[in-house]
């Protein structure tokens, strides 16, 4: 049985994110298979939300395109079911609290489990509100991934202690999107986490180049990239597969060097 | 700490990046809310600058015309900047100063909250940036100019439907990029804890005054208090000090747009269901998969797919009633109050006037109704004229 933590057993992990259904679910399926083949260790599948408040313009636009194309939670469950015939690496959903709550938290999690998902990331559910989701995630054998941010400071200990799967370290202030420079002391964030629990830490937000990925991988167990990939999808649409595969290969290479 | 729950509603559903900011805000608020110097400053500004207390005006002609209960109007439209929004903004701006913040950001729908925030920022020497849906910058062009005149920067928001909900999303996004020197002056009783409580407390001056003024004028409490509800700040302000007075009916008037059986509506209680959005659990207009609905109302200030968590709870407990009022009814009430009392209400407030016209005639002459006129309608004249087919622009 695949586990979230499996992503981190073969050295540093590269974790791509894509928004499901942009430009359509057939393309998403091809992209997931291509990314897995290109060395992705874990994939974050974004379930689109109408008002993604933690996202920058690139992923906002991807969400809008996906919803306009008629993407729904049920269709995404169908997509994963199909992917699981041959894709074995861990996969987690990244979406917003309302997508899960409105579907019925139990129903959403039961279905996620059934189709072979490993976890769930809800950027608008902080430590204080995780109770109503976390307990149920455990019941269904899913990891609710905890996030820590550059502003978390004294909160990191508490969050890390109860984290499962891996800890998502938000690299910078602000929303998702490409940044030219990351100034947060990631090494310190990671060591504060590890002091509480021996759990993998992956860094995301703002990472786009192999150089950045290599640098981040020196401090963390994995690197998460979303906007840079969705930029390629926005540019090439249904023909994005070779470009995304090449990008993922390059990033995986860089991450591997970052030890 | 219960994270600001009102029954099941409320909470703090926000990115981790903002958590320490709202915790800092809560600590500052708890420290200053009963601080004599803070309250002296706030009351001083409310009275000397904003013009409080606002009048509780007996609407004699309306009362006579409707032939039922006596109608009083709480004249929040007479406040400086023309709406109740200034009550909350002065409180939050003073709090921001006490917290050492030098910059405030705000969302705005109709522009009233943006204008109020820009005003307080000018007065207190704070830098100010206002986020406003692109659609709304067109509907309320004059308010955009006002904010700029007051020294604020106005950012049109093009994402989503380009209305109030998108302005709120964008302001939250902006806040995550710059927290240390910036306070988010949220304009309604919504968002993550502690905002619904802070904004309610700063707006509660409305019902505090209504109660005092009513006891002085009539020697008793009113039988009903009516207010329009988008996020619900003027309504909670008008209801708050009556919550324990069970004899007082509390009626929130939602914007039904073209009707609650159409998709062009913003009546959350009538058409929404429980959800989690913009930092809170409450009722939201949404589709079966939890996608937030693109709502509609002629009133930019009520054009919001959610409602504050305390209202959601007052609805659940039955303490307050929430009723839908259509564009057409609101526009008729806008014209009615203008002709009957010589008071041009904000089209938002006109929703409450419209519902009063439905219920007052059936109430006995010994009954008393208070309508909260949350803002003045100058800003709406061009839009209403266009609605009536007159091609004027402001």
Q: If you measure CA to CA, which chain B residue comes closest to A73? A: B289
B370 Cβ contact partners less than 8 Å away, ≥ 6 residues apart:
B56, B72, B73, B74, B210, B214, B222, B224, B225, B226, B238
For residue B277, what are the β-bridge partners?
A: B280
For the cut 70, the answer to whether the pLDDT of residue B393 exceeds it is no
For chain A, say whether B18 makes contact (Cβ under 8 Å). yes
> How far is it, in rounded angstroms, from Cα B152 to Cα B197?
26
Residue B129 lies in a domain: yes
List the catalytic residue out of B26, B54, B101, B107. B107
Number of domains in chain A: 1
CATH of residue B259:
3.40.50.1100
User: Could you please report the per-residue DSSP string of B286-349?
Assistant: B-TT-PBP----S-TTT--SB--HHHHHHHHHTSEEEEEEEHHHHHHHHHHHHHHHS--B-HHH
Between strands B153-157 and A201-204, the pairing is: unpaired
Nearest to B290 among A99, A123, A153 (CB): A99
Cis check: omega of the bond before B53, within 30 degrees of 0: yes
Taking all residues of chain B, what is their mean pLDDT, rounded to a whole number? 96
Nearest C-alpha neighbor of A140 from the set A159, A174, A164, A162: A164
For the cut 50, the answer to whether the pLDDT of residue B1 exceeds it is no
A95 Cβ contact partners less than 8 Å away, ≥ 6 residues apart:
A46, A47, A48, A49, A120, A121, A122
Task: Say whether both B263 and B135 belong to one domain.
Answer: no
Task: Say whether both B269 and B170 belong to one domain.
Answer: no
Better-predicted residue by pLDDT, B300 or A250: A250
Final residue in a domain of this structure, among B165, B199, B233: B199
Contact B13 A103 (CB under 8 A): no
For chain A, say whether B19 makes contact (Cβ under 8 Å). yes
Interface test with A, best of B3, B11, B16, B131 (most A CBs within 10 A): B16
Buried b (16+ CB within 10 A) or exposed e, A175-186: bbbbbeebebeb
Whether the predicted interface score ipTM is above 0.90: yes
Q: Residue B5 belongs to what H/E stretch?
A: strand B5-6
Task: Say whether both B232 and B179 belong to one domain.
Answer: no
> How far is it, in rounded angstroms, from Cα B387 to Cα B343?
19
Query: If pLDDT is split at 50, 70 and 90, which confidence band does B394 have?
Result: low
Q: Please tell me the least confidently modeled range out of A179-188, B90-99, B140-149.
A: A179-188
- In tens, the pLDDT along B344-389 reads 999 999 999 999 999 999 999 999 999 999 999 998 998 899 999 9
Task: Say whether both B328 and B231 belong to one domain.
Answer: yes
pLDDT at B138: 84
Mean pLDDT of A168-189: 89
Distance from CA of A163 to the nearest CA of B (A): 14
- In tens, the pLDDT along A122-172 reads 999 999 999 999 999 999 999 999 999 999 999 999 999 999 999 999 999
Helix ranges restricted to H, B110-162? 112-124, 134-139, 141-149
Contact A124 B15 (CB under 8 A): yes
| Residue A79 lies in domain | 4-257
Task: Say whether both B16 and B71 belong to one domain.
Answer: no
Taking all residues of chain A, what is their mean pLDDT, rounded to a whole number? 96
Give the rounded percent of residues in chain A with a pLDDT score beyond 70: 100
Q: Residue A106 belongs to what H/E stretch?
A: helix A105-114
Nearest to A128 among B3, B178, B273 (CB): B3
Task: Say whether both B257 and B378 belong to one domain.
Answer: yes
Task: Say whether both B362 and B261 belong to one domain.
Answer: yes
> How far is it, in rounded angstroms, from Cα B106 to Cα A202?
33
Final residue in a domain of this structure, among B171, B199, B227: B199
B262 Cβ contact partners less than 8 Å away, ≥ 6 residues apart:
none
Residue B394 lies in a domain: no
Residue B392 lies in a domain: no
**Assigned token pair, A130:** 């995780």
**Assigned token pair, A52:** 């993604």
For chain B, say whether A170 makes contact (Cβ under 8 Å). yes
- In tens, the pLDDT along A61-105 reads 999 999 999 999 999 999 999 999 999 999 999 999 999 999 999
Give the rounded percent of residues in chain B with a pLDDT score beyond 90: 92
Task: Say whether both B97 and B224 belong to one domain.
Answer: no
Task: Say whether both B106 and B142 belong to one domain.
Answer: yes
Q: How many CB atoms lie within 10 A of CB B40?
A: 10
Q: For residue A101, report the phi and psi dihedrals to the nearest 5 degrees.
A: -60, -45
CATH of residue A156:
3.20.20.70
Query: If pLDDT is split at 50, 70 and 90, which confidence band does B3 have?
Result: confident
For the cut 60, the answer to whether the pLDDT of residue B10 exceeds it is yes
Question: Taking CB atoms and an 8 Å cutoff, what residues of chain A touch B22?
Answer: none
Cis check: omega of the bond before B155, within 30 degrees of 0: no
Number of domains in chain B: 2
DSSP state of B47: I
For chain B, say whether A53 makes contact (Cβ under 8 Å). yes
Question: Taking CB atoms and an 8 Å cutoff, what residues of chain A touch B281?
Answer: 101
- Prediction pTM value: 0.96
Residue B296 lies in a domain: yes
- In tens, the pLDDT along B18-44 reads 999 999 999 999 999 999 999 999 999
For the cut 60, the answer to whether the pLDDT of residue A179 exceeds it is yes
Looking up tokens 């090439």, which residue turns up?
Answer: A236
Between strands B9-13 and B5-6, the pairing is: antiparallel
Final residue in a domain of this structure, among B176, B199, B222: B199
Nearest C-alpha neighbor of A256 from the set A218, A228, A202, A230: A218
Query: If pLDDT is split at 50, 70 and 90, which confidence band does B160 have?
Result: confident
> How far is it, in rounded angstroms, from Cα B15 to Cα B328?
40
> How far is it, in rounded angstroms, from Cα A165 to Cα A201?
9
Rg of chain B over Cα atoms, rounded to whole angstroms, equals 19
Work out the end-to-end distance of chain B between its first and last CA atoms, rounded to an integer number of angstroms: 48
Query: If pLDDT is split at 50, 70 and 90, which confidence band does B135 have?
Result: confident
B366 Cβ contact partners less than 8 Å away, ≥ 6 residues apart:
none
| Residue B313 lies in domain | 53-82+204-387
For the cut 70, the answer to whether the pLDDT of residue B2 exceeds it is no
Mean pLDDT of A182-195: 93
A165 Cβ contact partners less than 8 Å away, ≥ 6 residues apart:
A4, A5, A92, A118, A119, A143, A144, A145, A199, A200
């Amino acid at each position: 049985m695949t586990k979230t933590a499996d992503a981190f057993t073969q050295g540093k992990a590269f974790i791509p994110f894509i928004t499901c259904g942009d430009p359509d679910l057939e393309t998403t399926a091809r992209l997931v298979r291509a990314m897995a083949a290109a060395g992705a260790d874990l994939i974050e599948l974004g379930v689109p939300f109408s008002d993604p408040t933690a996202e920058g313009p690139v992923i906002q636009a991807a969400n809008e395109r996906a919803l306009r194309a008629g993407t729904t939670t049920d269709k995404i469950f169908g997509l994963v079911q199909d992917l699981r015939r041959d894709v074995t690496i861990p996969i987690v959903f990244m979406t917003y609290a309302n997508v899960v709550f409105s579907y019925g938290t139990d129903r959403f999690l039961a279905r996620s489990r059934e189709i072979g998902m490993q976890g769930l990331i809800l950027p608008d559910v902080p430590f204080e509100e995780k109770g109503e989701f976390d307990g149920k995630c455990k019941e269904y054998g899913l990891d609710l991934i905890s996030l820590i941010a550059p502003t978390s400071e004294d909160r990191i200990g508490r969050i890390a202690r109860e984290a499962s799967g891996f800890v998502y370290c938000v690299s910078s202030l602000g929303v998702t999107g490409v940044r030219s420079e990351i100034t947060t002391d990631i090494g310190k964030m990671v060591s504060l986490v590890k002091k509480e629990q021996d759990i993998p830490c992956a860094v995301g937000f703002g990472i786009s180049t192999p150089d950045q990925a290599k640098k981040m991988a020196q401090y963390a167990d994995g690197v998460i990239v979303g906007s840079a990939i969705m930029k390629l999808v926005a540019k090439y649409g249904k023909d994005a597969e070779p470009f995304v595969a090449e990008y993922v290969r390059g990033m995986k290479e860089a991450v591997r060097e970052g030890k | 700490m219960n994270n600001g729950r009102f029954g099941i509603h409320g909470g703090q559903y926000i990115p981790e990046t903002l958590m320490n900011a709202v915790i800092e805000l809560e600590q500052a608020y708890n420290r200053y809310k009963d601080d004599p110097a803070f309250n002296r400053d706030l009351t001083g500004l409310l009275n000397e600058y904003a013009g409080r207390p606002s009048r509780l005006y007996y609407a004699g002609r309306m009362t006579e015309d409707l032939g039922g209960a006596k109608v009083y109007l709480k004249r929040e439209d007479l406040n400086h900047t023309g709406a109740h929004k200034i009550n909350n903004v002065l409180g939050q701006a003073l709090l921001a100063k006490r917290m050492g913040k030098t910059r405030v950001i705000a969302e705005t729908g109709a522009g009233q909250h943006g204008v109020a925030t820009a005003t307080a920022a000018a007065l207190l020497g704070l830098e100010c940036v206002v986020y406003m849906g692109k659609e709304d910058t067109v509907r309320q062009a004059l308010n955009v100019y006002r904010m700029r005149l007051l020294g604020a920067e106005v950012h049109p928001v093009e994402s989503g439907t380009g209305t109030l909900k998108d302005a709120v999303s964008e302001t939250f996004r902006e806040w995550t990029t710059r927290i240390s020197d910036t306070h988010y002056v949220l304009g309604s009783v919504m968002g993550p804890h502690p905002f619904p409580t802070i904004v309610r407390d700063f707006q509660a001056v409305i019902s505090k005054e209504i109660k005092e003024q009513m006891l002085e004028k009539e020697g008793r409490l009113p039988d009903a208090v009516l207010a329009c509800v988008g996020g619900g700040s003027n309504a909670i302000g008008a209801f708050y000090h009556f919550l324990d007075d069970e004899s007082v009916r509390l009626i929130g008037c939602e914007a039904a747009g073209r009707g609650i059986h159409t998709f062009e509506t913003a009546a959350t209680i009538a058409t929404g269901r429980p959800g989690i959005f913009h930092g809170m659990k409450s009722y939201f207009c949404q589709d079966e998969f939890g996608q937030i609905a693109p709502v509609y109302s002629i009133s930019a200030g009520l054009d919001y797919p959610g409602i504050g968590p305390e209202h959601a709870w007052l609805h659940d407990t039955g303490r307050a009633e929430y009723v839908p009022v259509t564009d057409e009814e609101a526009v008729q009430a806008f014209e009615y109050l203008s002709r009957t009392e010589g008071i041009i209400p904000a089209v938002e407030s006109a929703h409450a006037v419209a519902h009063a016209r439905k219920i007052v005639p059936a109430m006995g002459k010994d009954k008393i109704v208070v309508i909260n006129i949350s803002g003045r309608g100058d800003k709406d004249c061009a839009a209403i004229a266009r609605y009536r087919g007159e091609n004027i622009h402001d």
